[in-house]
Structure 1
């Protein structure tokens, strides 16, 4: 008995994420880089002018906690450094020389990445980035936990009828 169970949304999202990260990591190795894909949103935000964890969070779809964890790793890897902001209330972040060199090497790769995404979207016949964006926005309006409660309530009501 070896029949697969139909995967749920979370399982499929994790699997697709793993496949994307695996391909990205292969490409980074081919480029001779020791680089973690999770650094990308932080590097892109800093390259676009972000200066604090809050700025990075606003420019990405990640939580402040996830950004803070990634920033900690990037500080340890020597990609980022901290500096005091003029108002003295917050600490700023900036790319080190290593970080600037990394950003310069990765920017052309990110253009290629979006080209590969367009090719994937053409192959599957769906605008994946738009679908995921729309899904994230719908879940921000009404969380999945609330949706589960509603579905359970509807099922209970249907069984009682």
Structure 2
């Protein structure tokens, strides 16, 4: 197999992610919202009852660092506030009135988004979200680095045998 011009998994995932985000951003502009697509997982987690970075992280497939960075942007844009928790170790994240207004405007948009995803999945004939969830689960069980190491060891063993 010639892999010189074949895009890698990371490249394809980033490209699909960019296409989805750009489409979402275009709709936010059409809705006349000053809103970033990256806020969505945090807003949805807060709407579901999460109150801290750790709780938001547990509701998403994103890292705690990515969530912290996003919450910082959301705070700068006036979407959320942070307050020290009672134990002083965690910050509580609260929607501002502006954030509450965004949430109300976005709920119908999110319903349309999931309907569009279902249409895409029907068009391509694959349950894309399910495939990605399975891939994430498999990579959590055995990381990509481990998989690469195993393939390299197998290739090295084949070279030794063929010599």
Q: CA offset at residue 88 of structure 1? A: 4.0
Aligned to 2:148: 148
Aligned to 1:59: 59
Aligned to 1:95: 95
Question: Is 1:5 matched up with 2:2?
Answer: no
Q: CA offset at residue 156 of structure 1? A: 1.2
Name the SS of the counterpart of 2:94 in structure 1: strand
Equivalenced residues, count: 158
Q: CA offset at residue 155 of structure 1? A: 1.1
TM-score by length of structure 1 reads 0.94
Q: CA offset at residue 69 of structure 1? A: 0.3
Tell me the distance in 1 between the aligned counterparts of 2:7 and 2:83.
46
Instruction: Please list, as runs of the form range in 1=range in 2, the aligned pairs for 1:87-126 lying within 5 A after superposition.
Output: 87-126=87-126
Q: Which moved more, 1:87-96 or 1:23-32?
A: 87-96
Tell me the distance in 2 between the aligned counterparts of 1:105 and 1:148.
45
Tell me the distance in 2 between the aligned counterparts of 1:118 and 1:159.
46
Tell me the distance in 2 between the aligned counterparts of 1:89 and 1:136.
30
Name the SS of the counterpart of 1:156 in structure 2: helix
Tell me the distance in 1 between the aligned counterparts of 2:15 and 2:55.
29
Aligned to 1:76: 76
Q: CA offset at residue 84 of structure 1? A: 3.3
Aligned to 1:136: 136
Name the SS of the counterpart of 2:83 in structure 1: strand
The runs of at least 4 consecutive aligned structure 1 residues that moved more than 6 Å come to none
Tell me the distance in 2 between the aligned counterparts of 1:74 and 1:43.
10
Tell me the distance in 2 between the aligned counterparts of 1:90 and 1:25.
31
Tell me the distance in 1 between the aligned counterparts of 2:60 and 2:129.
14
Q: CA offset at residue 6 of structure 1? A: 0.7
Q: CA offset at residue 89 of structure 1? A: 3.7
TM-score by length of structure 2 reads 0.93
Aligned to 1:23: 23
Q: Which moved more, 1:147-156 or 1:81-90?
A: 81-90
